[in-house]
A and B are shown apart, each in its own frame.
Chain A
Amino acid sequence: MRRIEDVIRDITKILEEERVNYVIIGGIAVVAWGNIRTTRDIDIILYINAKDADGLEAALKKEKFSIQAEDIRDALKERSHFTIFDELSEYYIDTKGIYSENDRITLERRRRVSLADLAFFVASPEDTIANKLLFGSEQDVKDAEGIYARQFGNLDMAYLEERCKRLGVYDEFLTMKKRVERRMQEVG
């Protein structure tokens, strides 16, 4: 049984060896910058071209990850997600390419995090907040609030505000900011 940290270690090692730039987003990025909550999948954005799909499939299969190059090519063509399954555990990697300016910026501003002998790239706290506000579910907004509170004073506010404006979630950002700062005062 492969543990989640081993899944991350193995998958990021493969991507680095294959020279595929990546950024881990979603629940893993949330836990790095905000509150601790569980997650069942690992969400990744890859900078990959269709011509590299065969090489990536071979490298992944060698390490007991399951994916078809055809699925990668189809997803890139349709600008959708593809799933990499781990044959040694129940974890799976929900993967997408660079489909928008937003994805490109999230990848470019990735941050390296480390623990013990493991190091990998996750989305920055600012990009994670902005994207969570864009997705907009109750859990997404809670995630954004947790990051804002934990990273309060450490965030690049000018960038975050600009990013929220670009994504059309500036009103949501202001509402969240006001609510979190009020709660922060209340709990001291």
Chain B
Amino acid sequence: MQDKTAKIMMRKMEKQQLREKIREEREREWIRDSLMLRDKKPGDTLKTLFDLCEFAQKLASRQN
């Protein structure tokens, strides 16, 4: 019984550790993305947003 409880607790800890690692990696990716944009002007990134929106609109209109 104790062995089974210990195993369950161990799995929970492993899951928490895994989730924490993933969260940290996502944070690093987000900041890496920010740093890659450091040389860009506001207009450059806004242009990318506008292109993304246009692409999404075209995709949606094809699906409808």
Q: Answer whether A36 and B30 are a contact pair too, CB < 8 Å, given A31-B46, A113-B43, A122-B42.
A: no
User: Which of A51-59, A93-101, A144-152, A159-167 is the contact stretch?
Assistant: A144-152
Contact call B31/A183, Cβ cutoff below 8 A: yes
Q: Answer whether A150 and B35 are a contact pair too, CB < 8 Å, given A3-B50, A142-B30.
A: yes
Cα(A186)–Cα(B24), bound, Å? 11
Question: In terms of DSSP, what is the predominant structure of the interface of chain A?
Answer: helix
Q: Give chain B residues whose Cβ lies under 8 Å from the Cβ of A149.
A: 31, 34-35
Residue from the list A116, A145, A186 in contact with B34, Cβ < 8 A: A145
B61's nearest neighbour on chain A, judged by CB, is A1
Q: A35-B33, A36-B45 are in contact. List 4 more A-B contacts (CB 8 A).
A: A32-B46, A35-B30, A89-B57, A183-B27
Q: Which residues does B use to contact A, with CB under 8 Å?
A: 27-28, 30-35, 37-38, 42-50, 52-54, 56-57, 61
